[in-house]
A and B are shown apart, each in its own frame.
Chain A
């Protein structure tokens, strides 16, 4: 969404209510009973004015701008305990995510949007160059091959016709290298013919968190491209 579009849509009231998808339940937000079951179950209730019922009331009374400009959408973990318990099936998580999507991108807190931008630009949230990525995974694989039972283990990136595509969470090639090997050990002993993409290997899609459907679609599309290009049988849904 362009800056102009963001401004145009967020000047209005009752926009979140109209825009938020009625999922998982076809239940309009107006059906809220105000019972507070959502708030009673939420571990964040009471923190800096946060509570799920208040978010629903803000949406229903047209206080979209106040909600969007506040910290509230970013304190929610979108865990859905509130809507799971809601007697009317109000889709509270989608209200939060829609509010997040209407926040000007430069004001999205922390690393969420920065990671999305980096992934769109470089193929992973870290901005790690391909040669560094290849070095890290091959280095960890060689080390693993020194362990008993795994001596013939090799990593094959971009292997055409592989049985399984494995994407990686960026933290595993960043600060948690030691956790790369768990799946590889399982694959090796199971005789799984797996491969990892050489580029665009990111298995994480922070568009989900930032409320950015366009970015999310692009990142999912890259996985589809790998599967088609390399003619891979099965996708392992990113961890």
Chain B
């Protein structure tokens, strides 16, 4: 967008998923109850929102999703390593669309070592590739009950509906 359509920003604003969720929560436009999400969960940093965004645009989205997790989850932990040094889920860069499944399983072992160490029953991600890969790999790594949810899904599930 910045490269090909720089004048776009003279006419419109653009918001990331984190900007939106944070704005709704901070301004009180939505209310959430973190006790609705009691599962022990971990947040996974997608490469593109974190490390690569930091490298390419000078800003990595590390703190925003964690703040959102704090609002919506009552029991969550970080994986180690995380943030800039995290391990990729193994499905990035379009590899999820290639026929190389055995290679993808091998790649994911690092992620699943991390998940096992953290002892969580849920992984929260803000990325469709990570979601697809982790869900498929949970079966391969003998963790069929591991829940994989979108960040906006746990927000939606914690929403307080005033009637």
Chain A residues within CB distance 8 Å of chain B: 23-25, 43-44, 47-48, 71, 74-81, 83-85, 93, 96, 109-112, 115, 148-149, 164, 169, 171, 179, 181-183, 185-186, 189-192, 204, 206, 208-210, 217, 220-221, 224, 227-228, 232-237, 239
Q: A148-B163, A235-B12 are in contact. List 10 more A-B contacts (CB 8 A).
A: A43-B90, A77-B90, A77-B92, A81-B86, A115-B97, A182-B156, A185-B159, A189-B29, A224-B5, A239-B127
The residue that A171 contacts in the complex, of B17, B95, B103, B128, with Cβ under 8 A, is B128
Nearest 6 interchain pairs by C-beta: A209-B94, A79-B88, A78-B93, A149-B161, A77-B92, A110-B98
Chain B residues within CB distance 8 Å of chain A: 1, 4-5, 8, 11-17, 20-21, 24, 29-30, 47, 51-52, 55-56, 84-88, 90-95, 97-100, 103, 106-110, 126-128, 132, 150, 152-153, 155-156, 159, 161-163
B110 x A209 contact (CB < 8 A): no
Contact partners of A236 in chain B: CB under 8 A = 14-15, 17, 20
The residue that B93 contacts in the complex, of A79, A181, A227, with Cβ under 8 A, is A79
Contact partners of B161 in chain A: CB under 8 A = 148-149, 189
Contact partners of A48 in chain B: CB under 8 A = 103
The residue that A185 contacts in the complex, of B90, B126, B156, with Cβ under 8 A, is B156
